[in-house]
Every structure is written in structure tokens, then in C-alpha cells.
Amino acid sequence: QDALFELDEASPTLGVFSQVFVVSRPTRLDRRATMQQLRAALSLEWTYVDAISSEDPLVDQVAECVRLSRKNNHLPTFDWPPRSDVDQVVRSPPLPPLDASVPWLSATAATPCRYPAPPPLNASAHAPGLADNTSQSADRTHGVKYKPSLLSYMLLTPAKFACWYSHLDAIQRVAAYDDSLADADGGGPRGAALILEDDVDMERDVRGRLREVWSVLPDDWDIVFLGHCWSNEARYPALRARGAKASGLYPKMSVHPSFAPKCTHAYAVSPAGARRILLHLLYPPFAYSRALDQAFAWLVQTGRLRAFSVVPSLVVQHKLTGSDIDGGENGLGSGWKDRLEHGV
């Protein structure tokens, strides 16, 4: 146990990850300053993924694609490609270039539009009526009818498009990981990565807690939510440790099959999981159809992803700086507030 603790202490990527990414707008120096405090306190290393702003021309291009997709699709709902087709592509990395939807998916799309994919393209298309874009629900092909009284989570704002696009950038980097490379520092799935947003705090002993989490996860997981909101992620029975018994150091912590996790401030993805996520997030009838966390939640609820959640959260939103997406709670985002046992 002592050797394991020393290994955890020495790992700048938390012991179970090959990479850590932080999605952050370069202009948000206030957020990067607080993240630097976290980095120093826990001796972490990560790579920033520069997020785009809601004013970026790419946002207009994405919005226009959403409009065209809905205009050209006359069916009330869409069908997903067979899981066997998805699995075949996931098992055959690398993915085709994601300058748009991958060919095997786009052939079934009822739209000629090609969504931009990272790295950013030079685009200047303007999308009229952007403020009137509304979220789709379930597998519907159109958003709800717009009216000024719609709740904020039903509106597809420029900031939500920008968030979706920026996370695609990070996820694509994990999907491109060479599976033949060495395991994560200290052991773990090859190429597994942690994706964070830039407004988070972590448990001080997060390394040890992650070791406990990884002792119960199945080998074929796609995504693990280390932080979540607006959902009872303990709804399904907790996983049990495989082989050796759990250490018992964290009796209050458990890992569950995900139910409907919201928020995207802290999630781990495997390379195969990243490829599976990209194939779904870039599927034209579904792409940019709702807020990104709502998209994740629907993919989880419909069994399209092999997803798990840590309860309670190991990473939370500190809500110390203004949100670029949600103007609620005096500009700090939604009213959900998580707490850590021993945060930084």
C-alpha cells in the first residue's frame, strides 16, 4: 500500500491516465489562474485545449448546418446506425478524417451540410435566426417550437455550440491515440485521458480514489464521469471490485453504471470510447442538437455508450468565476452546487 501511495504521489497525470486535457478559452486568464493553483497543489500536468468563443465564425457555420439539417429532414425522428457498424469503426482506428461527418455515417444523413470539426477552419457563413434555434429531445429531428418563455436549457445558444465544438477538439485528440503505446503512468487503460473544464476543484487524495475506481471498472468502458450534476448517479447498483478486494480506504465512494449525468466539467474517456463518442456526436441528425451534456446523457440513457459515474463526485465546479454558457446564479452558472470532502 505504501508503494502504491508513493506511485500515486509521483504521477502528474493522476496514475491512471496517459493524458489530461483542460478545455479553456485562452482569454479567460482568471480561470487559468485558478487552474494553475490546482496544478501546483496537486503536482499535475495537462495540456490546454483552446476553446472557441461564442463569437467565433465557426459558431455561425455550425448553426447554419443545424438549420439545414432540420429543414431537409421531414421525418419526426431519426434512426441510429446499427451498433455493430459503430463497433466495427471503433475497433478499426484511426477514424477517417473528421473534416465533417465520417463517410459511413454521412451517407445516411438527410442533409448536404458538413459540420466543421477541429482543428478550427476558416469560416464566415452567417446563420440567420441563430437565437431561435431550440434543443431537440430524444431522437427527434427538430427542436421544440421557439417561444420567448422557453427555459434556458431548451435554447441552443452560440455559447452551447462553442462548448460542443471545443469538447470535440479534446475528444478527437484521445480518439487519435496510438493504442500500441505504453500504458498510462502507473497502469491503466492505454491512452485513457481525463478531460476537464477550467472551473474545477478536486479531492486532495484524488490519485488514491482513482485507483479505487479503476479497480472496479470493466475493461471495455467508454466514459467515466468523475463529476456530474442534476442526476441521481447512484440509481443503479454499485460495481464490485474485481479480483482483489477494494482497499476500504474510501467507504463513502462508489462507482455505478451511469444514469443520466449532466455537466461536462470532468470525464475520462478511453481511446475506443472517444471514437464511439465522436461517431455519435458528429452523426448529422444528432450533431449540435442540444447542449453537450444533454447529448451525453441521452447517449447514456439509450445505451449507446458504456458509461460509469463516481459517487460522490471527485471533481466539482468551484463556481468562483463567471460562466461563458449559463448566466444564471448571478452569472456563475446553474444552481447546482457540489462539495468535496477535502478539496484543494
**pLDDT per residue as tens digits for the range 268-307:** 999 999 999 998 998 888 989 999 999 999 999 999 999 9
Task: Kindly tell me the burial class for residue 54, based on how many C-beta atoms sit within 10 Å of its own C-beta (0-12, 13-18, 19 or more).
Answer: middle
Residue 106 pLDDT greater than 50, yes or no: no
Query: Measured between alpha carbons, how far is 204 from 89 in angstroms, rounded to an integer?
Result: 38
Mean pLDDT in residue range 108-113: 44
Query: Measured between alpha carbons, how far is 164 from 269 in angstroms, rounded to an integer?
Result: 16
Closest CA to 287 of 151, 161, 126: 161
Residue 12 pLDDT greater than 70, yes or no: yes
Q: Note the pTM of the prediction, 2 decimals.
A: 0.84
Mean pLDDT in residue range 50-76: 88
Cα 197 to Cα 41, 92, 225, 266, 296: the distances in Å are 17, 29, 13, 7, 15
pLDDT of residue 243: 59
pLDDT of residue 189: 56
Cell representation of residue 100: 465533417
Q: Who's near 251: CB < 8 A, 6+ residues apart?
A: none
Across 131-135, 173-177, 220-224, least confident range: 131-135
**pLDDT per residue as tens digits for the range 141-187:** 888 888 888 888 888 889 999 999 999 999 999 988 866 554 554 44
